[in-house]
Copies of this chain bind each other. A is one copy, B any other.
């Protein structure tokens, strides 16, 4: 499904859900609700003395949001004909990891952000030391959750956990965050850091793992996994381009944090690099590429005969493209 080129540079009259290229987003809210219900049941502390740490973890974990990564998990399960409820432990683990990354990114030594989803950031409420530890603990509990709660054959759980570790380490999320801080003002400017590569690591790998871990847990054949991996990688790129655009065009209220923070941090973004017009074109191109990759993945998918059409994955792809926050 091809999507025709970008938006006008200053076309503020176009509402987020009525793009000139006709893409209208319908987010699978019913899956998000299941994620929220599931996350509310997850507890970490086994005795009262560590309840205070758990409180800081849950403060950030239960702050709402679109839950794009865990919803992607459930939508991917449905796309290959699985009962999505069986993937809730994986979905939960990935949202724990995402929450940990937000807490650490917001720290004074990193982005020094005071607001997140309209509320004071974790370190503003609980102190910097507890915030660092809340992030650390969320990451540990994510692995514990996946390794002990996800019910699948051991070698599949092992493969999914390894994928998640890879997606969040030096060659994934944390490596991308390193490149992000390294390419910013606090450190010597490298100049040569490829923006797409930074975001592929920082954002794309965990978004990608939200899709590929499902395929690994399902024991899907290699070609299907590779095709979905390609889709997921493009989805990560799309997510980041739109994020960069929203930081410039979004309102504080919609974003739940001050807009313009990228510029204040002297951050390398798609907008600073290419200008808003070109960034929007790149978003449209990326959206088209993601949709094409998804169509290909679905045709390569296992059990295509009995599977429902991957409507939620299409919905999420369109939502990521058209979102306003």
Contact = CB atoms under 8 A, between A and B. Distances in A.
Most B CB within 10 A of own CB, among A104, A133, A155, A193: A133
B130 A178 contact: yes
A165 B186 contact: no
Interface of A is mostly: helix
B175 A45 contact: yes
A175 B128 contact: no
Contacts of A154: 153-155, 157-158
Assembly stoichiometry (copies): 2
A168 interface: yes
Interface stretch (A59-67, A71-79, A142-150, A254-262): A142-150
Interface in A36-57: 44-47, 49-50, 52-54, 57
Contacts of A193: 49
Contacts of A171: 44-47, 50
A174 B136 contact: yes
A141 to B, nearest CB: 5
A11 interface: no
A175 B50 contact: yes
A169 B181 contact: no
A161 interface: yes
B165 A140 contact: yes
A251 to B, nearest CB: 28
A172 B133 CA distance: 12
Contacts of A172: 140
Contacts of A139: 136, 139-140
